[in-house]
Structure 1
Amino acid sequence: MSFQSIRGQNRVKRILQNSLLNNSVSHAYIFSGPAGTGRKAMALALAQAIYCKVLPDDACGVCLDCRKVLHRNHPDLLFIEPDGSSIKIDQIRGLQKEFAYRSTVSGTKIYIVDEADKMTVQAANSLLKFLEEPAFSVVAILITENGHALLPTIQSRSQWISFTPMSRKEMTELLLEEGHSPALVHCAVHLTAGVDAARELIQGNGFAEIRSLGVQLAKDSLTRLPTAMLTVQQKLGKSELSEQLPLLLDLLILWLKDMVQIHLGNKNNLVYIDQLDWMSGQALSKELSHWVSGMDRAVELQKRLRYHANPQLVLENMLLQLRGV
């Protein structure tokens, strides 16, 4: 892992590499931005670059220190992530104990806190004290989707590094170069903020099947509603579909957006480009307001799911909306 191996985030790389060249690495960083934008990879790259004895502002990737960081067994590097739903005070106390009693090999100790916004109040206050009173050379990297959720005192004592989503065009080009299915790529880049997250979604268990199911239900809801309803009953008997229902609704929203664009005569940059023929035949069969209200309904049903609405009723409601019943 090196800075140059990470696609995008050039501004972030310039900031970090300049700090390495000028010996001005901060004692604490907040890596804030959407999931999939390379925050974890950048944290590892920074740790490697700090420890690497070959290059002054990057990681060579082959020296012993670089390899130890990559395999997460460097003696001066510690990772913390949520234990269940939160990062607890005992984990921060464990960090402090580890750093207090373990001799340093490199002269600098680094700890990376993933999902740092999930620290309990007690854990965050304990970390704050550690940030304020480090016993030696320490670099903290706090990874979060929302840096504003951290204590203001932690924010004020850390250098904020913002990670921005990669453009969909760039993500699409990269994923297609890697040989992924165009149909899956066009959906994934609209559902994620970074190429790593899009790749993970494409390669994840069931994404292709969920997309195909969404297309099937959309078709059947317009022409064979009873068949669509029967499919829902059969599929929801499998628990994995209930768990993937938010994703299915996301995919249906993308499909509805395409129907709006086709209705308006815009056929560029569609997501379901492989379904253009039959979608073109259906888009004008209903008023534009029908497709727009369908998107609104899907968003509303997603909110209901978060409050534990019945999955079968939610999906059946969505199909009735698509049919216009």
Structure 2
Amino acid sequence: MTFTIETLQGRLVELFRRIIGQGQLSQGYLFAGDTGTGKMELAQWIALRLFCQHVDAAGNPDGTCSECQRILSGNHPDVVVVAPEGQTIKVDEIRFLKSELSKRGMETNQRVFIIQDADKMTTGAANGLLKFLEEPAPQTYLILTTSAKNQLLPTVLSRLQIIDFQDLPRPELLKRLQAQEISANDAALLAHMTNSVTVASELAASDWFNPLKERLWQWLTHVQQHNGQAFVAVQTQIVPLVKDKIAQGQALAVILLLYQDILALHFDQRGDLSFPQAEKTLTSWAENTTVAKLLQQMEAVLQAQRYLNANVSFQNTLEDLTLKLL
């Protein structure tokens, strides 16, 4: 069986293949990296490797035996996955996990527990893990995954082996996006917005992504022309389209990428643009500005992102940004 994780993180698969083969698997790990880098896939691969009935000569699980199939379908009693319900992992979920951690395996002596998005644990939930991390039960393995390592309690981090996941190389990411029937131009932009093929595909398939690109381009054109219609576009074209916080954050990300392209073209760097199809227009804008002004404009966009994260309304944030850019 060929696992996606081997193409995403071949080095880490080889590392854990060797560790498990030598009987040196630690009892607590933190897998840290961006969305789409294979954290959950590797955690699952480890569970498959530990329980597989037909591990091959190279140390790979076959993926087809009954044990592997139960893990892949989420039905193995000795492989427990905890994921956030809503925005947080609450104390009750960790309390359940702690009760399970104290038990022996139902069918074997070993158990695997995976906590997805561990940075979303409440402080109480995170503290609830400390007893296990200090005195782990034999043959019980705990794997936490996170995209925000710095949001975990230092007391938790200090008791885990931290494995950092590298981003998917950009050429490979572009290749995978285009294999999903995403156009080369859209792939160029999406690859700057996320390192996750899944997230990029969801964005491309959303009902707001393509209209948003077009409306932001029109808005920026007004801004570049010092045209007051940019304010009208905020209220009538952009705000009605992006109704949730995620889409609003992506709108500001696209604006920042537009300015990054202008800055790159100012220095005649053309190889990695987010908007390659607009190179001619972006180049003309780059030729009619200064580095100091571009940096000032980019700082204004970054400030807008901070306002949005501080729960300033998106309309007020974008209108304030428009005023600064004009």
Which category of TM-score, normalised to the shorter sequence, fits these structures?
A: 0.7 to 0.9
CA deviation string 1:46-77 (max 9, x = no partner): 21222111125323222222222122111111
CA spacing shift, 1:292–1:80, aligned 2, 3 Å: same
CA deviation string 1:222-247 (max 9, x = no partner): 23734332222123553734532221
Paired residues of 2:116 and 2:144 also in contact (CA < 8 A): yes
Residue matched to 2:187:
185
Paired residues of 1:175 and 1:185 also in contact (CA < 8 A): yes
CA shift, 1:255, in A, is 0.8
The number of aligned residues is 323
Paired residues of 1:260 and 1:283 also in contact (CA < 8 A): yes
Residue matched to 1:133:
135
Residue matched to 1:310:
313
CA shift, 1:308, in A, is 2.2
* TM-score (normalizing by structure 2): 0.87
Provide structure 1 residue ranges, at least 5 long, that are not aligned to the other structure.
none
C-alpha RMSD over aligned residues: 2.6
Residue matched to 1:30:
30
Further displaced range: 47-56 or 98-107: 98-107
Distance 1:63 1:203 in 2: 35
Secondary structure in 2 aligned to 1:225? coil
Distance 2:153 2:300 in 1: 36
Residue matched to 2:295:
292
CA spacing shift, 1:221–1:200, aligned 2, 3 Å: same
* TM-score (normalizing by structure 1): 0.88
Aligned mate of 2:174, from 172, 175, 186:
172
Distance 1:205 1:43 in 2: 33
Q: State the percentage of identical aligned residues.
A: 28
CA spacing shift, 1:288–1:68, aligned 2, 3 Å: same
Residue matched to 1:39:
39
Provide structure 2 residue ranges, at least 5 long, that are not aligned to the other structure.
none
Further displaced range: 18-27 or 131-140: 131-140
Secondary structure in 1 aligned to 2:271? coil
Residue matched to 2:48:
48
Distance 1:293 1:126 in 2: 46
Distance 2:141 2:148 in 1: 20
Further displaced range: 182-191 or 294-303: 182-191
The aligned runs of 1:16-165 (5 Å cut-off) are 16-56=16-56, 57-100=59-102, 104-165=106-167
Residue matched to 1:247:
250
Paired residues of 2:215 and 2:237 also in contact (CA < 8 A): no
Distance 1:6 1:208 in 2: 33
CA shift, 1:264, in A, is 2.6
**Structure 1 runs of 4+ with >6 Å offset:** none
CA spacing shift, 1:241–1:294, aligned 2, 3 Å: farther
CA deviation string 1:171-223 (max 9, x = no partner): 12332244311122111211223444444443445322322222221123323
